[in-house]
Amino acid sequence: MNVTELRQLIATELAEVHTCLPGVIVSYDGACAVVRPALPKQLANGTALAPPQIVQVPVCWPAGDVAGRQALISVPLRQGDPVKLSFSERALENWLAGADSAPDDPRQFDLSDAFATPVVRPGAGRADTENVSVQYGRCALKLTPAGDAILGGPGEFRVTMPAVFEKDVSVEGLFTYGAGMAGKGGSAGTRIAGDIHHGGGTIHSDNVVDDGHRHHDSRGGDTSGPLP
Residue span of the structural domain in which 36 resides: 3-118
Domain count, the chain: 1
CA–CA distance, 195 with 77 (Å, rounded to integer): 51
Establish if 216 belongs to a structural domain.
no
Establish if 160 belongs to a structural domain.
no
> What average pLDDT does this structure show over 116-136?
89
Establish if 44 belongs to a structural domain.
yes
The predicted model scores a pTM of: 0.73
Establish if 14 belongs to a structural domain.
yes
Cβ contacts of 113 within 8 Å, gap of 6 or more:
87, 88, 90, 91, 92, 107
For residue 76, give the CATH number of its domain: 2.40.50.230
Give φ, ψ of 95 to 5 degrees.
Answer: -65, -40
- In this predicted model, what pLDDT tens digit does every residue of 51-74 receive, in sequence order? 899 999 999 999 888 777 889 999
Establish if 82 belongs to a structural domain.
yes
Establish if 161 belongs to a structural domain.
no
Establish if 133 belongs to a structural domain.
no
Q: What pLDDT sits at residue 212?
A: 63
Establish if 139 belongs to a structural domain.
no
User: Going along the chain, which residue ranges are E strands?
Assistant: 20-28, 32-37, 41-42, 48-49, 54-58, 63-66, 69-72, 82-87, 114-118, 132-136, 139-143, 149-152
